[in-house]
Copies of this chain bind each other. A is one copy, B any other.
Amino acid sequence: MRKPRLFTPGPTPVPEHVLLRMAEPIIHHRHAEFIALMERVNRHLQTLFCTTQPVLTLTASGTGAAEAAMTTLFKEGEKGININNGKFAERWGKMMKTFGMTAIDVEIPWGNAIETEQLRDVLKQHPDASSVWLVHSETSTGTYTNICEMARTVRETLPNALVCIDGITSIGAHECRMDEWDIDVVMTGSQKGLMIPPGLAFVALSERAWQKAASFKSRNFYFDLKKAREAWQEHSTPWTPAVSLVCGLAPALEMMMEEGIENIWHRHATLSRGLRSGFEALNLKLYGTSPSHAVSVAYLPEKGGKDFVKLLKKDLGITVIGGQDQLKDVIFRTSHLGYYDEADMLGALGAMEHALHRIGHEFEAGKGVYAAQRVFLEAARR
């Protein structure tokens, strides 16, 4: 027997008591008990986003949150700079084109993050751009972008451009201080750091962004954030929300509030460091130059690497995920976003040692878990 364990960057595992909360009889979304629940949820989401602005809850995937922000804030013909360093970043560029925006796709080699100077140069070339889109944690490559620094660079160079952050796999993993860092749009999804199933997306806009939105008529309906903000004032949503998911969100957020968001960021940093140390100790080459704390990426072993992911799932109960496009059969991605602790990392590394042994990869048995554990103990001593 092997317990099934999910190490995918969304859906991520849902705590058992959250699952059971969602299995309670359904309640009506216009009644007092749901409104009280939503009030608490809304408050906790603001803490999570480090903002005093409303964090709006949409019934959609994270892509819906991006669409909501884009169509609420930008008209046809507006120019958006899209920092494209992976599959998800690529999607926002396509979305801009669909909605008639001029997308300036700045291609950054996969596995890398844009640097300050590079961004400044791009901004200077496009002084008419009204937005800059950045992916905080690019899930397709496990790449972290320094949003604090990039937001400051945009604000210095193009003071009026809106800084739009895909925080889909960063919120709850990486420090993201929306108000303090002067970010205009932050969005995330439910099945990531928030530890509940997919189906909800969240988005917050800055005062600057709301003012821009107010300056023209909405060109969307379901994703009209102006309408969503009105409903938010009454702890409600314009359309029927995914009630059971909101009921799960409440205890998930309470767990997060109890742990404290700075501790959550720290936990993710430690898990990421431990797992990557384990990979290196197992002679697995790390991928990328700027690792995300949400998902750790390594090259598949040259010998038998194609079987590695399958073997892990089939015989060892561990679901990790391969690469996409040019990274197919090249890398594997192990998520530790959300409901994970050190024991999960040790367990995953232990299973990986089994699988690596089977495919004939060369490494010293036990060294992966040893390396990770040393990182964890060291982190605890600080």
Q: In the complex, how many angstroms separate the beta carbon of A300 from the nearest chain B beta carbon? A: 18
Q: How far is the CA of A32 from the CA of B241 in the complex (A)?
A: 29
Q: Which residues of B contact A189 (CB under 8 A)?
A: 240
Given contacts A59-B198, A64-B60, A245-B199, whether A11 and B28 have CB atoms under 8 Å apart is yes
A23-B25 contact given A199-B242, A319-B31, CB 8 Å threshold: no
Residues of B close to A27: CB separation below 8 A: 6, 11
Q: Which B residues are CB-close (under 8 A) to A360?
A: none
A25 to B8, CA, bound (A): 13
A28, B4: Cβ atoms under 8 Å? no
Nearest-CB distance from A355 to chain B (Å)?
17
Q: Which of A64, A191, A199 gathers most chain B CB within 10 Å?
A: A199
Q: Within 8 Å of chain B (Cβ to Cβ): is A222?
A: yes
A243 x B11 contact (CB < 8 A): yes
Q: Contact at B191–A240, with CB atoms within 8 Å?
A: yes
> Which A residues from 20 to 70 make CB contacts under 8 A with B?
20, 22-31, 59-64, 67
Task: Indicate which residue in B11, B26, B221 contacts A26 across the interface (CB closer than 8 Å).
Answer: B11
Asked whether A241 lies within 8 Å of B59 as measured between CB atoms, the reply is no
Contact residues on A (Cβ < 8 Å of other chain), bracket: 35 or more
User: Is A86's beta carbon under 8 Å from chain B?
Assistant: no
Residues of B within 8 A of A31 (CB): 319
Contact A219 B319 (CB under 8 A): no
Q: Which of B23, B25, B98, B220 is the one whose CB lies under 8 Å from A98?
A: B220
Q: Complex formed: what's the CA distance from A10 to B12 in Å?
A: 28
Verify A25–B10 contact, CB threshold 8 A: no
Q: How far, in angstroms, from A31 to B223 measured CA to CA in the complex? A: 29
Nearest-CB distance from A332 to chain B (Å)?
Answer: 14
A191 to B94, CA, bound (A): 32
Interface 0/1 of A253-280, CB less than 8 Å to B: 0000000000000000000000000000
Q: Does A95 sit at the interface, judged by CB under 8 A? A: yes
Cβ of A301 under 8 Å from chain B: no
Contact of A29 among B30, B63, B67, B198 (CB under 8 A): B198
Count chain B CB atoms within 10 A of each CB in A10, A23, A222 and give the residue with the most: A222
Asked if B240 contacts A62 (CB within 8 A), the reply is: yes
**In whole angstroms, how far apart are the Cα atoms of A249 and B200 in the complex?**
17
Chain A positions within 8 Å of B, measured between CB atoms, are: 4, 6, 8, 10-14, 19-20, 22-31, 59-64, 67, 94-95, 98-99, 189, 191, 197-199, 218-224, 239-245, 319, 321
A sample of 25 cross-chain residue pairs with beta-carbon separation below 8 angstroms, ordered by A number, consists of A4-B25, A8-B28, A11-B28, A19-B22, A19-B24, A22-B22, A22-B244, A29-B198, A59-B59, A59-B64, A59-B198, A61-B240, A64-B239, A67-B221, A67-B222, A94-B221, A95-B221, A99-B221, A189-B240, A197-B242, A198-B241, A198-B244, A199-B241, A199-B242, A199-B245
Query: Apart from A60-B60, A191-B240, A197-B245, what 17 extra A-B contacts exist at CB < 8 Å?
Result: A11-B26, A11-B28, A11-B29, A12-B26, A13-B26, A14-B26, A22-B244, A31-B319, A59-B198, A60-B64, A61-B239, A63-B239, A98-B218, A98-B219, A199-B245, A222-B223, A244-B245
